[in-house]
Amino acid sequence: MMASGLLSKSLHLTNFRSPLLRVAVPSVAAAFALQTAVAIPSIFAQSERFYDVSGSATFLTVTLLSLYLPSLRARAAATLAGAPKPPFPSLQSAFAGNPASGFHWRQVALSAAVVFWSVRLGTYLFRRVLHQGHDSRFDPIRSSAPKFAGAWFGQAVWVSLCLAPVLAINAVPTAILATVPFGVADVLGLGLFVGGFAFEIAADRQKGAWLRRRKDKLHDEPFITGGLWSRSQYPNYFGEVALWTGLATTSAGILVTRPVQLGLGLPGGLSGKLLAISLSYVSPVFVVFLLLKVTGAPLSEKKYDAKYGHRKDYQEWRKNTPKFFPKLF
C-alpha cells in the first residue's frame, strides 16, 4: 500500500506537460535511485561484486519503466477516480499495427534490444567477477568512499545517457509514431544493433575460450591476438559502440520527423532537428568517450604496457593492429 502511494505521488510530481519530460525525468531519477541503493552497502563493504550486475539491472529496469510509464499513469489516475484500472497493453499487439494497443512496434523493438543486451552483458560480467574474485579497475578507489561513490554515480550517468534515444522514443505517443512510415533509418539502425551485438558477443566468447585454454595449459600466450582480436585491439568495444549507434540511428530517423517533434513538444525547424539528433547520438558518443578515454582502453593499456611493453610480439601487435575499427584484410 505504501509502495503504491509512493508511486502515485511520484507520477503526480513528474506529470509534466512535455511528454518527453514525463518519461525522461522519472526514468533518470530511477537510475540514480537504484544505483544509490546498491552503492551504499557496497561502499561500506568495499566490494564491487555487484557493480556490473547492478548497472545491467538498472538498464533493464529503467527501460521497462519508460515503456510502461503511460500505462502506470493511466492506472494511477483510474485509482484516484475510483474507476477500474485499465489492463497493461500487450507487447504482441504492438506489431498488429493498431495505435490504440498502447505500444508501437518501434518502442517494443528498441526496448527489447536494450533488455537483451543488458541481460547478456550483466550475466557475462557477473560471471567474470565471480571467477576472478575482484575487478582490478577498482583497486585504486575501493577503499576511498568518495571515489568509490563517484564510480556508482558515473554508472547512473552512463545508464541515463545511453538510454536517451530509447527514452525519447518511448515518450512519443503511439498514435504519432504510427504516422511515421518504415524507412531507411529503421533498417540501418536495427541492422547496426544486430551486427554490433553479434560482434561483441563473438569477441567476448573468443576471449573466454582463450582464457579457458590458457587455464588448462593448452597454450602459454600471455595476451590474446587471434580471431577478432587480430583485427582490432578492442573488438568488444567496437561492437558495443556499433550497437548503441544503431539504436541512436533508428531513434534519430524518427525524432527528426515533424509529427514526432510536435508530439514531443520540441521546437520546430533546424533547432528541433538538432536537438533530436543530439538526444539520439549522445548515447554512442558517450560510450566512445567512456571506453576509449576513461575506463576501458586507458586502464587496459596501462596494465598490459606495464606487463608486456618490453616484449617484441606485444609491440608488433600494438603497432599492426588497429586500436578500434577492425581491419578488413
* 77/66 Cα distance (integer angstroms): 17
pLDDT at residue 8, as a whole number: 65
For the whole model, what pTM was predicted?
Answer: 0.90
* 292/243 Cα distance (integer angstroms): 16
- The 10s digit of each residue's pLDDT in 244-285 is 999 999 999 999 999 999 888 888 788 889 999 999 999 999
- The 10s digit of each residue's pLDDT in 180-190 is 999 999 999 99
pLDDT band at 133 (very low <50, low <70, confident <90, very high): low
Q: Report whether pLDDT(121) > 80.
A: yes
The pLDDT of 137-145, averaged and rounded, is 84
pLDDT band at 288 (very low <50, low <70, confident <90, very high): very high
pLDDT band at 303 (very low <50, low <70, confident <90, very high): confident
Mean pLDDT score of the chain: 88
Number of helices (H) and strands (E) in the chain: give both, helices first.
13, 0
- The 10s digit of each residue's pLDDT in 64-90 is 999 999 888 888 877 777 788 887 887
The pLDDT of 107-129, averaged and rounded, is 88
Place of cell 560471471: 127
pLDDT at residue 261, as a whole number: 92
Q: 180 vs 121, 172, 174, 191, 257, CA distance in Å?
A: 32, 11, 10, 19, 8
pLDDT band at 50 (very low <50, low <70, confident <90, very high): confident
Q: DSSP character for 222?
A: S
Q: Report whether pLDDT(97) > 80.
A: no
Contact 253, 185 (CB under 8 A): yes
Supply φ then ψ for residue 321, to 5 degrees: -110, 125
pLDDT at residue 17, as a whole number: 81
The pLDDT of 144-166, averaged and rounded, is 94
Q: Report whether pLDDT(130) > 90.
A: no
